[in-house]
């Protein structure tokens, strides 16, 4: 059996906007289900909010998100977690970085680092922190 870990991001009314942004950033489409379509609420203001959503790219980047349940407290927090994207293809990782830049606060410029030929960190326009890098070749390791 294979276990997959997927970051799940929580929002308070803008999960659809975030998922659509991430889908565009990673060259794919968001898949979503609303509270209304699921029959999870009778509150009209919640019918179009996202109860389940996911973005998955062909290269393997996956993120899930939803709008917190009605009445559930929500606090974005500060530095609570990162979504870490690491790959071996500099072009794919660079494309992901460039896709996330719109409205982002760059926390570490994307470029060479002590541990990677390319690495960077940003807080996207939704407040989610993304760390991206290109995996450094393992020295002295043979196949």
Q: Tell me how many degrees the CA angle 123-129-131 measures, rounded to the nearest 5.
A: 105
27 and 57 housed in the same domain: yes
E strands, the chain, where? 8-11, 30-34, 50-56, 62-67, 82-87, 105-111, 119-123, 129-134
For 21-31, what is the mean pLDDT?
97
Lowest-pLDDT range of 43-47, 76-80, 115-119? 76-80
Domain boundary among 28, 43, 67: 67
User: What's the domain range around 12?
Assistant: 8-67
Give the CATH number for residue 108.
Answer: 3.30.720.110
Query: Which of these, 115, 112, 131, 111, lies nearest to 123 by C-alpha position?
Result: 131
61 and 87 housed in the same domain: no
Is the per-residue pLDDT at 61 higher than 60?
Answer: yes
User: Is 28 among the domain residues?
Assistant: yes
Q: Name the residue with tokens 């709008």.
A: 67
45 and 88 housed in the same domain: no
Is the per-residue pLDDT at 73 higher than 70?
Answer: yes
Query: How many domains are there within the chain?
Result: 2
21 and 45 housed in the same domain: yes
Instruction: Please provide the average confidence, as pLDDT, over all residues in the chain.
Output: 88
Is the per-residue pLDDT at 141 higher than 80?
Answer: no
24 and 48 housed in the same domain: yes
Is the per-residue pLDDT at 143 higher than 50?
Answer: no
Query: Which of these, 137, 100, 130, lies nearest to 115 by C-alpha position?
Result: 137
- Quote the pLDDT of residue 39: 84
User: Is 72 among the domain residues?
Assistant: no
Q: Name the residue with tokens 């989610």.
A: 128
User: Is 140 among the domain residues?
Assistant: no
What share of the chain has pLDDT > 90, as a percent? 67
Q: Report residue 140's pLDDT band, with 50, 70 and 90 as the boundaries.
A: very low
Residues 92-126: tens digit of each pLDDT: 999 999 999 999 999 999 999 888 999 999 999 99
Is the per-residue pLDDT at 86 higher than 60?
Answer: yes
> What are the backbone angles phi and psi of residue 35, rounded to the nearest 5°?
-60, -40
| Full-model pTM | 0.82
Query: Residue 37 has what DSSP assignment?
Result: H
User: Is 143 among the domain residues?
Assistant: no
User: Is 74 among the domain residues?
Assistant: no
């Amino acid at each position: 059996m294979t276990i997959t870990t997927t970051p799940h991001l929580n929002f308070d009314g803008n999960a659809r906007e975030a998922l659509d942004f991430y889908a565009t950033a990673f060259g794919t489409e968001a898949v979503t289900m609303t509270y209304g379509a699921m029959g999870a609420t009778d509150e009209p203001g919640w019918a179009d909010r996202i109860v389940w959503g996911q973005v998955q790219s062909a290269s393997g980047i996956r993120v899930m998100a939803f709008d917190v349940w009605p009445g559930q407290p929500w606090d974005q927090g500060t530095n609570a977690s990162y979504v870490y994207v690491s790959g071996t293809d500099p072009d794919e990782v660079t494309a992901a970085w460039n896709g996330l830049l719109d409205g982002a606060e760059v926390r570490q410029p994307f470029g060479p680092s002590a541990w990677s030929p390319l690495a960077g960190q940003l807080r996207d326009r939704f407040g989610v922190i993304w760390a991206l890098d290109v995996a450094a070749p393992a020295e002295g390791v043979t196949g």
